[in-house]
Amino acid sequence: MINWLAYAVNWMLNGLFDVYSFHRFIHLAKRPRHTQIALLKRILRDNKDSQFGRTHRFEFIRDVGEFQSQVGLSTYNSIQHELRLQESTGKHLLCGRQFVYLNHNADPTNHKAFPFTVNALRDARRDVRLTAYAWLRRYGLWRNQVFTMLEDEPMSFSNTGLPQGTTAGFVYRNLPAFMLRRCITNAEIAAIKDSQSRTLAHAIVALAETNVSCMLTANPATFIHLLDVIHQNFDEICDAIENGTLPERVQSEIRGERLIRANSRRASELRTLMEQENRLTFGDFWPKLRGVICWTAGSCGSSVRFLRTQLPSGTPVLELGYQPSASIGAINVDTKTNACLLSFRYNFYEFAERSPWEAGFGQLKLLDELVVGQEYYVLITTRSGLYRLQTDQIVRVTGRVHNTPTFEFVQNGLSSTNIHGERLAESDVIRAIEKLNAEHGCEIDQFLMLSDAINKRYELYVETENVAEPELVANWFDSALASCNSEWAVKRMAERLQATEVHRVPTGTINSLRMRSIRDGFAEPLFVFPHLQSREDIAADTLGALVL
């Protein structure tokens, strides 16, 4: 009762604080063009005295057309030197204010850091408050404890001393204080370098808690791996909960005090559950679970499909929101339908229709000109010195809130292969697998497709309990892929591409490959293992030894 009253009081206080801002944001969705043009003028006015602003005559730009004609498209590589120079010297090269924060991507092999000024950082925090308010509107989601695997590593700093982190971590750190207090997480755990020890520590701390109403992470595959770790180390986890001590290999990497208290009753409950079931689900551990928040679109779709089977029936999975490194990306304004609006109050957007853009032409469109069902590349202009930046990220328009389109993430534009002109995209493979599951009952949970340029073919590795012959699955897949990619059909008919080879692999194979990448330096909760890769990216002996 006390917990419920505390939740209700905090819900009301946070709701009163944010309700006006949220409904104001929805109101602005009635006039997206007016909002975007007013924002663009403010960005140009604020940065007209920067070197870039003077060079491109920001002071004399009067409308979007002039902005597009006077300011060319940019990429991260084309502005990287100016970004680093302004960061290190403080000179106003790209924008009229100093950088105070850096947002970086989660891939250490292709590090990119995007700047935030004081104003942009304040705007981003306001968007996080909108996200938090939308979550609080979902009944009971934050009523009890929230198991979180979204935190950044402990705050780090760039070479010039600026604080830095990831977008997902920024969202977590800037949630209202009452929401953070309900999160089961610990900076000490995030600091553990060994991924297996870190996941085991998360498992122990999580299972020690009985009243979990929500699970929060970025990549749903993180929770799938967590469940595997729980079953592989179940006795050790129960012993740790019973004694209130972590395993030595975990405790040795934690400097602080013990993270859990001894709870023999909870340990006994867990052991009894395991005696009753061969394999437990999150619903068994936490019967009060009311929802999961994570990425649901793009490459995460297959992981979400499997994760749903490990949750109580009907448990909603809320979209965390597409989060590019250059800004706060999308805000889930309706958690029942996962309708996500871009941060159009604080970032100016342009869009290029996918197919024409990939063919080398195509007219850029503004937010209110987009068509539901179409896919677009996103270009962004921010208050922090990014102008018409090509993000190489593809989104799909899913609907509208008033006159503003809602979006879901499709893929990074670089997630494609091309052996003989087929230009196969990761999203094509994902749609083909979904078609197989829907029309033929293949029940493929995880999959990986590799391009083999030498033999002019593709190899599809699938995790499935379905016993259909691989040759039959290959025929179904070939037909499904042809319906998603016309060039695939042409190249197959002309026999320029060999038939796809389908191999069944044991459950957990794809996750083991993902974990190998994480050990190579990726941030676990944020790293999404691509479904489409080149065979050269995978060790030659890895998959061959795992094929059933």
User: What is the average per-residue pLDDT within 228-235?
Assistant: 93
pLDDT band at 539 (very low <50, low <70, confident <90, very high): low
Tokens of 165: 């982190």
Q: Are residues 163 and 182 in the same domain?
A: yes
Q: What predicted TM-score, i.e. pTM, was given to this entire model?
A: 0.90
| CB-based burial label for 440 (10 Å; 0-12, 13-18, 19+) | middle
Per the structure, the complete domain to which residue 290 belongs is given by: 139-315
pLDDT at 484 over 90: no
Q: Are residues 232 and 283 in the same domain?
A: yes
**CA 487 centroid distance within chain:** 29
pLDDT at 395 over 60: yes
Query: Using CA atoms, how far apart are residues 278 and 230, in angstroms rounded to an integer?
Result: 13
Answer with the residue of higher pLDDT: 472 or 495: 472
Residue 218 lies in a domain: yes
Residue 322 lies in a domain: no
Answer with the residue of higher pLDDT: 428 or 548: 428
For position 165, what pLDDT does the model report? 84
Q: Are residues 430 and 402 in the same domain?
A: no
For position 153, what pLDDT does the model report? 58
Residue 335 lies in a domain: no
For position 25, what pLDDT does the model report? 95
H-state helical runs in 90-220: 118-137, 167-173, 177-181, 187-190, 195-207
pLDDT tens, position by position, 300-321: 988 898 899 999 989 999 999 8
pLDDT band at 362 (very low <50, low <70, confident <90, very high): confident
**β partners of residue 502:** 460
CB contact set of 21 (below 8 Å; sequence gap of 6+):
126, 129, 130, 133
A 10 A CB-CB count for 163 gives 13
Residue 208 lies in a domain: yes
pLDDT band at 541 (very low <50, low <70, confident <90, very high): low
Q: Are residues 278 and 184 in the same domain?
A: yes
pLDDT at 103 over 80: yes
pLDDT tens, position by position, 194-215: 788 888 999 999 999 999 999 9
Query: Using CA atoms, how far apart are residues 223 and 245, in angstroms rounded to an integer?
Result: 23
For position 4, what pLDDT does the model report? 59
Q: Are residues 279 and 233 in the same domain?
A: yes
Q: Which of 442, 503, 425 is nearest to 476 (CA)?
A: 442
Q: Which of 395, 412, 429 is the last residue of a domain?
A: 412
Amino acid at 39: L
Q: Which of 362, 395, 412 is the last residue of a domain?
A: 412
Residue 425 lies in a domain: yes
Amino acid at 379: L
Residue 194 lies in a domain: yes
pLDDT at 540 over 60: no
Residue 325 lies in a domain: no
Answer with the residue of higher pLDDT: 426 or 548: 426
Report the chain's terminal Cα–Cα distance, integer Å.
53
Query: Using CA atoms, how far apart are residues 462 and 503, in angstroms rounded to an integer?
Result: 6
pLDDT tens, position by position, 262-305: 999 999 999 999 988 878 999 999 999 999 999 999 889 888 98
Tokens 């009944």 found at: 139
For the ranges 265-274, 319-328, 386-395, which has the lowest average pLDDT? 319-328
pLDDT band at 506 (very low <50, low <70, confident <90, very high): confident
Query: Using CA atoms, how far apart are residues 356 and 405, in angstroms rounded to an integer?
Result: 20
A 10 A CB-CB count for 38 gives 14
Annotate 298-327 with DSSP letters as a single string: GGGHHHHHHHHTTS-TT--EEE-----TTS
CB contact set of 489 (below 8 Å; sequence gap of 6+):
482
Query: Using CA atoms, how far apart are residues 486 and 504, in angstroms rounded to an integer?
Result: 27
Query: Using CA atoms, how far apart are residues 447 and 304, in angstroms rounded to an integer?
Result: 13
Number of domains present in the structure of the chain: 3
Query: Using CA atoms, how far apart are residues 321 and 102, in angstroms rounded to an integer?
Result: 20
Q: Are residues 424 and 383 in the same domain?
A: no
For position 369, what pLDDT does the model report? 97
Q: Which of 391, 412, 433 is the last residue of a domain?
A: 412
For position 332, what pLDDT does the model report? 94
User: What CATH number does the domain containing 540 carry?
Assistant: 3.30.300
Cα torsion 388, 394, 395, 397: sign? positive
Residue 372 CA: distances (Å) to CA of 345, 368, 401, 408: 21, 11, 12, 11
For position 326, what pLDDT does the model report? 80
Residue 48 lies in a domain: yes
Q: Are residues 278 and 196 in the same domain?
A: yes
For position 386, what pLDDT does the model report? 95
**CA 331 centroid distance within chain:** 13
Q: Are residues 302 and 349 in the same domain?
A: no
Q: In the 8-state DSSP scheme, what is residue 526?
A: G
Query: Do 293 and 277 contact (CB within 8 A), yes or no?
Result: no
pLDDT at 169 over 90: no
pLDDT band at 18 (very low <50, low <70, confident <90, very high): confident
pLDDT tens, position by position, 180-199: 889 987 777 877 777 888 88
User: What is the average per-residue pLDDT within 494-522?
Assistant: 79
pLDDT band at 10 (very low <50, low <70, confident <90, very high): low
Q: Are residues 484 and 422 in the same domain?
A: yes
**β partners of residue 458:** 451
**Over the chain, what is the mean pLDDT?**
87
Tokens of 5: 């009253």
Q: Are residues 528 and 421 in the same domain?
A: yes
For position 84, what pLDDT does the model report? 93
Q: Are residues 87 and 29 in the same domain?
A: yes
Tokens of 318: 């809320």
Q: Are residues 84 and 45 in the same domain?
A: yes
pLDDT at 259 over 80: no
Answer with the residue of higher pLDDT: 254 or 339: 339
Query: Using CA atoms, how far apart are residues 520 and 341, in angstroms rounded to an integer?
Result: 34
